[in-house]
């Protein structure tokens, strides 16, 4: 989103182009627009055009979600409208009756377009000065040219340019006011429309489906306990930095899609909370609501006791965000873009260089700090996006797939930085497809399936609760007796019923052993006794990994079983 400072910079750039246009007019046979101090008039017309066209294009940009699409279509619109606008005027004058009210309305409505006002102002100013010069020379004066009356080019008459200049001045102001209203009230309007109107109407005619989709009856015990704690206790007593309370999001399509269904969780300081789920589980939508990109259909999010529904601008000032797709400016360097963000965060100018250098060093970006961002690898862009998210010391930091594309060394460095940030009292909320990353960083996490939390707790708690198997790795000396390998397999089948051989390679066997009737001590005791008999070189018994817990819930059949 452009700031007021950005618009001022664009205006300065437009003034520079206005001066260049004067040179173009001079050498293109239109010297009447720049000679005898006429360049001041031309410059004034171009300045008014810049005043009106910049906010006009900004307003139209709200209709697009893709920068590339917006650029191409707005460029085509500008070219097409400038090319056809004169023809449209001629057609209106020729076809429609002179005294017709519709003709007047059509011509007036065209004055809302800055490019129309520019074209009419330049062409009529040119005609006026050309006529004036011809009359002054008194040579080859056409019969139809009236040289007896000297009009005012800035007047409001039909052949003057005054009304077009006024139109550019007024529409520029109107467009700026509309931008201000959109930027300051769009969230409030969207919230009212989606929560009060759309959801209210949909709920009235689909009570049973809404009740069924947002039902919390079959929730996991930990998820239910967290919900009850949030609903029963006052917000102040929960001592949470981030509070998600009965959050739901419905996309009102045909049929309606329940993307997020009544999730609740309280996250305290010095916590790293992981949000896991397959594509389509609802984690991306949840992230968009938490960062103020999407409006929740029902429920609310509180960050430091501020409601995101009612105070989205204040909430945004308290968060740092590393999006899934890097929002970086290709023709800036890392140092330049971090300096820009440091200023936006309000860091004192004297401290910016030290602050930026420290941030660059923390993620080992020194070798690339003064190179253009478009030359960076995907991993380096992720590091830079993460460094930007950590700037300004926000209370809550959202990291969406932060280590994607990073090499192991850079990933470990990122993990250390995130851990240090968390320990400094910040809240980290992370989504990742790397279970190793979640296990290393998260103090708590939730797995989402079909918009709901199906489990909630620390990684170790989830492994203890849902890890119904042990992982046994055994290595057998097959060079002495190859039959021992077969004997060991028979031994595992009879001693540990239900055990499953997952992998075998040159005497190394990986088994999943049910934990229901087998304790750690029992398994170690049995394998120690069998060590010599089956020529076991070594073996290990470990708990199920977080990834295996995740896959258990990601499988729809297993999800139903746990539900």
- Strands (E) in 156-277, as ranges, are 242-251, 257-267, 272-277
Cβ(511)–Cβ(501) below 8 Å? yes
Query: Among the residues of 405-458, which ranges form H helices?
Result: 408-423, 435-441
Eight-state DSSP code of residue 545: P
Confidence at residue 502, expressed as pLDDT on a 0 to 100 scale: 79
Say how far apart CA 87 and CA 254 lie, in whole Å: 43
Residue range 525-539: average pLDDT?
Answer: 83
Confidence at residue 435, expressed as pLDDT on a 0 to 100 scale: 85
Closest CA to 176 of 15, 52, 9, 77: 52
Say how far apart CA 112 and CA 154 lie, in whole Å: 19
470 vs 245, more confident: 245
Strand partners, 542: 471
**pLDDT(368) > 80:** yes
Tokens 């060394």 belong to: 409
Q: How many CA within 13 A on the CB side of residue 296?
A: 25
Confidence at residue 104, expressed as pLDDT on a 0 to 100 scale: 65
Strand partners, 241: none
Two tokens at 397?
């930091």
pLDDT 10s digits, 323-354: 888 788 888 899 999 999 898 888 888 899 99
**pLDDT(39) > 50:** yes
Confidence at residue 103, expressed as pLDDT on a 0 to 100 scale: 61
Residue range 49-78: average pLDDT?
Answer: 82
All structural domains of the chain, each given as residue ranges with its CATH number in brackets, are 4-180 (no CATH), 206-465+546-563 (3.40.50.300), 468-543 (3.30.70.920)
Confidence at residue 397, expressed as pLDDT on a 0 to 100 scale: 93
Q: What is the CA radius of gyration of the chain?
A: 34
Range picked from 185-199, 286-300, 528-542 for highest mean pLDDT: 286-300
Return all residues near 480 (Cβ < 8 A) that are at least 6 apart.
535
Cβ(363)–Cβ(409) below 8 Å? no
Positive or negative, the CA dihedral 480, 482, 483, 488 is positive
Cβ(245)–Cβ(300) below 8 Å? yes
Is residue 513 classed as helix, strand or coil in its secondary structure? strand
Say how far apart CA 410 and CA 384 lie, in whole Å: 12
Cβ(175)–Cβ(56) below 8 Å? yes
Confidence at residue 249, expressed as pLDDT on a 0 to 100 scale: 92
Closest CA to 241 of 442, 438, 443, 426: 426
* Complete edge-to-edge strand list for the sheet that includes strand 298-303: 257-267, 242-251, 298-303, 306-307
Say how far apart CA 563 and CA 402 lie, in whole Å: 31
Closest CA to 453 of 228, 220, 229: 220
Confidence at residue 234, expressed as pLDDT on a 0 to 100 scale: 84
pLDDT band at 125 (very low <50, low <70, confident <90, very high): confident
Say how far apart CA 350 and CA 354 lie, in whole Å: 8
Two tokens at 107?
């011509």
Residue range 469-485: average pLDDT?
Answer: 78
Confidence at residue 562, expressed as pLDDT on a 0 to 100 scale: 42
Confidence at residue 561, expressed as pLDDT on a 0 to 100 scale: 41
pLDDT band at 20 (very low <50, low <70, confident <90, very high): low
Is residue 502 classed as helix, strand or coil in its secondary structure? strand
pLDDT, the chain, mean: 81
Chain Cα centroid distance, residue 33: 47
Residue range 112-127: average pLDDT?
Answer: 83
pLDDT band at 284 (very low <50, low <70, confident <90, very high): confident
Say how far apart CA 505 and CA 132 lie, in whole Å: 96
Q: Count CB atoms within 10 A of the CB of residue 235.
A: 13
Confidence at residue 12, expressed as pLDDT on a 0 to 100 scale: 58
Confidence at residue 32, expressed as pLDDT on a 0 to 100 scale: 65
Confidence at residue 429, expressed as pLDDT on a 0 to 100 scale: 94
């Amino acid at each position: 989103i452009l700031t007021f400072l950005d618009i001022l910079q664009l205006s300065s750039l437009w003034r520079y182009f206005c001066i260049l246009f004067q040179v173009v007019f001079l050498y293109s046979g239109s010297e009447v627009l720049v000679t005898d101090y006429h360049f001041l008039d031309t410059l004034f017309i171009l300045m008014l055009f810049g005043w009106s066209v910049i906010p006009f294009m900004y307003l139209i940009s709200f209709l697009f979600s893709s920068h590339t699409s917006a650029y191409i279509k707005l460029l085509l619109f500008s070219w097409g409208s400038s090319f056809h606008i004169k023809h449209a005027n001629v057609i209106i004058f020729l076809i429609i009756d002179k005294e017709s009210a519709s003709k007047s309305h059509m011509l007036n409505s065209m004055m809302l377009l800055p490019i129309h006002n520019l074209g009419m102002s330049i062409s009529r100013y040119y005609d006026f000065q050309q006529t004036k010069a011809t009359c002054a020379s008194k040579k080859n004066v056409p019969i139809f040219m009236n040289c007896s009356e000297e009009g005012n080019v800035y007047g409001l008459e039909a052949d003057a340019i005054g009304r077009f200049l006024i139109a550019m001045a007024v529409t520029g102001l109107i467009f700026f006011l509309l931008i201000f209203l959109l930027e300051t009230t769009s969230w409030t309007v969207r919230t009212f429309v989606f929560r009060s109107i759309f959801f209210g109407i949909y709920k009235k005619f689909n009570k049973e489906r809404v009740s069924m989709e947002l039902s919390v009856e079959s929730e996991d015990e930990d998820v239910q306990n967290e919900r009850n704690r949030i609903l029963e206790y006052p917000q102040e007593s929960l001592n949470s930095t981030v509070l998600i309370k009965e959050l739901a999001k419905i996309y009102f399509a045909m049929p309606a899609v329940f993307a997020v269904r009544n999730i609740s969780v309280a996250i305290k300081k010095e916590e790293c909370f992981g949000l896991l789920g397959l594509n389509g589980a609802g984690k991306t939508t949840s992230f968009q609501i938490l960062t103020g990109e999407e409006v929740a259909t029902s429920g609310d999010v509180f960050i430091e006791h501020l409601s995101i529904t009612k105070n989205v601008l204040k909430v945004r000032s308290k968060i740092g965000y590393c999006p899934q797709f890097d929002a970086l400016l290709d023709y800036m360097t890392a140092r330049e873009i971090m300096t820009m963000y440091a200023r936006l965060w309000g860091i004192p100018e004297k401290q910016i260089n030290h602050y930026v250098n420290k941030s660059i060093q923390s993620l080992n970006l020194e070798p690339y700090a003064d190179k253009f961002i478009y030359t960076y690898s995907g991993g380096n862009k992720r590091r830079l996006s993460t460094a930007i998210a950590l700037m300004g010391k926000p209370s809550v930091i959202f990291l969406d797939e932060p280590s994607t594309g990073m090499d192991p060394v850079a990933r470990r460095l990122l993990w250390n930085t995130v851990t240090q940030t968390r320990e400094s009292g910040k809240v980290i909320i992370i989504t990742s497809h790397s279970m190793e990353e979640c296990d290393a960083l998260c103090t708590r996490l939730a797995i989402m399936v079909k918009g709901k939390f199906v489990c909630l707790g620390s990684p170790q708690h989830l492994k203890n609760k849902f890890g119904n198997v042990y992982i046994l790795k055994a290595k057998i000396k097959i060079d002495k007796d190859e039959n021992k390998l077969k004997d060991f397999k028979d031994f595992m089948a009879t001693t540990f019923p239900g055990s499953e051989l997952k992998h075998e390679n040159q005497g190394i066997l990986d088994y999943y052993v049910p934990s229901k009737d087998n304790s750690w001590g029992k398994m170690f005791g049995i394998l120690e006794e069998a060590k010599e008999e089956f020529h076991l070189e070594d073996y290990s018994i470990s708990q199920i990994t977080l990834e295996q817990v995740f896959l258990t819930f990601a499988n729809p059949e297993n999800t139903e079983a746990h539900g």
